[in-house]
């Protein structure tokens, strides 16, 4: 594995499979109460330029469980917020920390941080990608379906960071992905192109459509995310109007396979991209999905900070 985890496309399929297998082992070990502390004495810095519940708490708990410590660093409090450069911040923090997790706006800023940091850098979400989320989601799918290869994933909604990481994952790992987005809210064509370029010849198709019913046909996973991501709050009302036909509700779920899982990276905007009935219904795995962030990220931290 490279020093950093900046995008799913940085990994090989073998590395993804190893992380998923290790995360499953770590989950069993935790359930059994086994002590496993390979990161004693190690510290992860967690830089946040945007809010977070799952990413912040799961990374911090992951470090505690692995025997290390985590420090929450808001960009509002760091000198970074007053103009200290990313390159200088990276070199200073590398003298204290054993790893840096960052959630920010520009993917280029995460890449810049990784370039100057001598310690591993982990992308905890940018406007472009959210790799830890999709890796954890693949763990959830694997737990429920025994693997991800034969599963068709239907991503319904905004062509955003989460959608981009799904595209890259589908290309890298070779599962079928159908993305349904309204016109004007499609994923970045460069990411679509990259995902298709990653795909092996003969791999299942990556398709884009405006029709959510077409996307969910034969799907084993229906996945959605907020219609207005962090930083797009002012577009919220306009987006709700455009995205209404893309709501994951009972009729959309009924158009998928009878055993389709419903997934959402959370936070959910109940009544917008997903109804209460579906989110709290029998097909929903959203809470086990959120828990898996912890287990998957422990595997990532063990690998990048522990050299395992
Ligand atoms: N899914 C996710 O990354 O959630 P947070 O924004 O709460 O970290
Ligand atoms: N697309 C969402 C994901 C939140 C975890 C956002 O960027 O706000």
Domains of the chain by residue range: 8-130+293-306, 133-289
pLDDT, tens only, 39-98 = 999 999 999 999 999 999 999 999 999 999 999 999 999 999 899 999 999 999 999 999
Q: What whole-number distance in Å separates Cα of residue 193 and Cα of residue 188?
A: 9
Left, alpha or beta for 43 (phi > 0: left; psi -120 to 50: alpha)? Answer: beta
Question: 133 catalytic, yes or no?
Answer: yes
Whole-structure pTM over 0.85, yes or no? yes
Q: Which fold does the domain 8-130+293-306 belong to in CATH?
A: Rossmann fold (3.40.50)
Cβ < 6 A, ligand 2 pocket: 125, 160-162, 225-226, 229-230, 265
Environment class of 303 (CB within 10 Å of its CB; exposed 0-12, middle 13-18, buried 19+): middle
Does the domain formed by 133-289 have CATH 3.40.47.10? no
Nearest ligand, CA 137: 1
The HSE-up count of residue 178 (CA atoms within 13 Å, CB side) is 19
| Residue 55, pLDDT score | 98
- Exposed, middle or buried, 187 (CB in 10 Å: 0-12/13-18/19+)? buried
Average pLDDT value for residue range 3-29: 97
The candidate with the shortest Cα–Cα distance to 200, out of 167, 175, 164, is 175
53 CA → ligand 1 middle, Å: 6
**Is residue 308 pLDDT above 80, yes or no?**
no
The pLDDT, as a whole number, for residue 56 is 98
Q: Is 133-289 in the same CATH topology as 8-130+293-306?
A: yes
Q: Which residues pair with 43 in a beta bridge?
A: 69
């Amino acid at each position: 594995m490279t020093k950093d985890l900046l995008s799913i496309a940085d990994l090989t399929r073998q590395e993804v499979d190893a992380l998923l297998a290790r995360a499953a082992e770590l989950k069993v070990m935790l359930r059994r109460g086994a002590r496993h502390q390979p990161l004693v004495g190690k510290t992860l810095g967690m830089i946040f330029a945007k809010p977070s519940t799952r990413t912040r708490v799961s990374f911090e708990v992951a470090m505690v469980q692995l025997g290390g410590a985590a420090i929450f660093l808001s960009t509002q409090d760091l000198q970074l917020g007053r103009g200290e450069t990313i390159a200088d911040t990276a070199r200073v923090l590398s003298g204290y920390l054993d790893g840096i997790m960052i959630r920010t706006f520009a993917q280029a800023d995460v890449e810049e941080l990784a370039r100057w940091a001598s310690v591993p850098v982990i992308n905890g979400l940018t406007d472009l990608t959210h790799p830890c989320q999709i890796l954890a989601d693949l763990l959830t799918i694997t737990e429920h379906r025994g693997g991800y290869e034969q599963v068709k994933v239907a991503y319904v909604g905004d062509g955003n960071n989460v959608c981009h990481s799904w595209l890259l994952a589908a290309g890298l790992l070779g599962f079928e992905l159908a993305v349904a987005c309204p016109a004007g809210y499609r994923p970045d064509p460069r990411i679509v192109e990259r995902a298709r370029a990653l795909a092996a010849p003969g791999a299942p198709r990556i398709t884009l459509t405006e029709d959510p019913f077409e996307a969910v046909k034969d799907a084993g996973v229906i996945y959605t995310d907020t219609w207005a991501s962090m930083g797009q709050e002012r577009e919220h009302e306009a987006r709700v109007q455009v995205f209404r036909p893309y709501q994951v509700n009972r009729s959309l779920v009924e158009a998928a396979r009878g055993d389709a899982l419903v997934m959402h990276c959370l936070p959910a905007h109940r009544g917008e991209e997903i109804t209460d009935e579906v989110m709290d219904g029998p097909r929903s795995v959203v809470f086990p999905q959120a828990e898996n962030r912890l287990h998957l990220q422990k595997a990532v931290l063990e690998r990048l900070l522990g050299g395992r």
